[in-house]
A and B are shown apart, each in its own frame.
Chain A
Amino acid sequence: MRIESTYKQNIQDRLEMPIKPKKNIFLQIALLVAVLFFFFSLYQLNFDYARLISGTGAFLETLTLMVPPDISQWQHVLAAALESFQVAVLGTIFGIIIGFVLAFPAADNITPHPTVAWLIKGFASLLRAIPTLIWALIFIVAVGLGPFTGILAITVGAAGMLVKVFTQSIEEIDYGVIEALKATGAGWFSIVSQAVIPTVLTAFLSWCILRFEADMGESTILGAVGAGGIGWELTHAMRAYKFDQAFFVAVVIFLMVFSVELVSNRLKMRMKNIG
């Protein structure tokens, strides 16, 4: 009893609570600024609640104009859809080729020289920094309207991303397997083809499929600025206030993108099973 009480006494004398760690002041200030900026912007840009309501009405009215969809132009629309699909396929494949060639010298663990790796990575991030839509506008100036521009824009966008993700996949592999082949006296190309490619192949394939899905979406948008394909049909119909035609185009786009995703998900499942 006495022992316990002295123990308690001692504890009370000596036990100081550890100093509470300071809260992150920076985070609090950032949050405050964000909230203030939100209200400032609401005020500054005249966010008009009345128009939100009237706009909803107008939108619903437009919706009624959209049904039934006008399928009279179906030959035109389907041909344009096919073109979008082709643009996506060609752009993605060219992007894959560029990404594949550049990724190996860009990966830190197998690069012939660090400067080479640095240059390629810098080049790829430059490609990524500019959105595909802007690339399309640049190429329209250079080579004119049409699917060729779309293919180029998608190639550049896909290459920028694929160089990055391919390189990361290569850098993730166990350095031991590279060491093992180096130790046999194998040359650089042999090491890449015998050790690196078999190890990263499934990762590469899933990146390619993912990129194709994204490019399918991109290629429909690119049509809107005149780089060929179904996007142009959509813009065209909207500008002419032919909402029923526009609705049909939208349905075709949805079906196309949706089925690409369906197929690619199947493919990914298959690949998982192979491992």
Chain B
Amino acid sequence: MTLLQVKGLEKKYPDGTVALKGIDFEVNEGEFIVIIGPSGAGKSTLLRSVNRLVDATNGAVIFKDRDVVKAGTRVLRKIRREIGMIFQGFNLIERASVLNNVLHGRLGYMSDFKGMFYLFNQSQKKTAYELLHRVGLGEQIYKRADELSGGQQQRVGIARALAQKPALMLADEPIASLDPVSSNVIMDYLYNICREEGIACLCNLHQVDVAKKYATRIIGIHAGEKVFDGKPEELTEDIINQIYHNKKKELVANE
């Protein structure tokens, strides 16, 4: 089953930077796709175009038969609440409690009025607690988010995204600001939970070895273009060079 279709996606920023030059791909339910590519290749822009934190210049993003690019405010909120997202900088509300940060994942399902006045009900709180317990933070729920370590904060980020009961998870460099041990923990949680819950995942990474370890499929991006889309075992040294340095064979021969 196709969950997400990205067709001819283009993005040009107001300052003239062309971040995406026509990207096409599809995401099927339950896939764990890792997007790799050098910094500035457009990975972040691509991910943000999916839930429209960035407005695409051209092309279409179809999530569950709804066009994200053309959606109005109401429809967009409904689409966004089914797409969880975790960030490189965790992006928790540091002065709010850990529990509240997870409850934020439910805001898309509440009226703006209820959300504004923190009117979360008991079952939402219980679910949030269960999610925190699942990522090993059951004891920390009343702590302020900024009291936690980086790895713990990212686990709260995962719990917040899971609170949305998403069909798709977007992970933008989830381990780029973590040490190797925490990185492993986070990738394990992310991968296992997505697989167990049948959540499809689009994950930006710049570590090729990590990508190969977890991905069911890898997409390589170079300078706003898709240069590879296939199984991890098809990702050869040559292709990696092409993704990261754009050294095509004939170019190398000409040197």
**Contacts from A to B (Cβ < 8 Å):** 174, 176-177, 179-190, 192-195, 198-199, 201
10 nearest CB pairs, A to B:
A185-B108, A190-B115, A185-B81, A187-B112, A186-B107, A180-B91, A185-B80, A176-B91, A189-B116, A183-B85
Contacts of A194 in B (CB 8 A): 93, 96, 100, 104, 107, 115-116, 118
B150 within 8 A of A: no
Is A195 within 8 A of B93, CB to CB?
A: yes
- In chain B between 100 and 116, which residues have their CB closer than 8 angstroms to a CB of chain A? 100, 104-113, 115-116
B12 within 8 A of A: no
**Residue in A180, A192, A193 with the greatest tally of chain B CB atoms within 10 Å:** A180
Is A187 within 8 A of B83, CB to CB?
A: no
A199 touches which of B82, B95, B104, B160 (Cβ 8 Å) = B95
Q: Is the interface of A mostly helix, strand, loop or mixed?
A: helix
B77 within 8 A of A: yes
A186 in contact with B89 given A192-B116, A193-B115, A193-B118 (CB within 8 Å):
no
B interface, size bucket: 35 or more
Contacts of A201 in B (CB 8 A): 95
Contacts of B105 in A (CB 8 A): 184
Is B77 within 8 A of A176, CB to CB?
A: no
Is B118 within 8 A of A176, CB to CB?
A: no
Cβ contacts A to B, 6 pairs, < 8 Å: A179-B91, A180-B91, A184-B84, A185-B164, A186-B107, A198-B93
Contacts of B115 in A (CB 8 A): 186-187, 189-190, 193-194
Is A184 within 8 A of B93, CB to CB?
A: no
B53 within 8 A of A: yes
Is B91 within 8 A of A186, CB to CB?
A: no
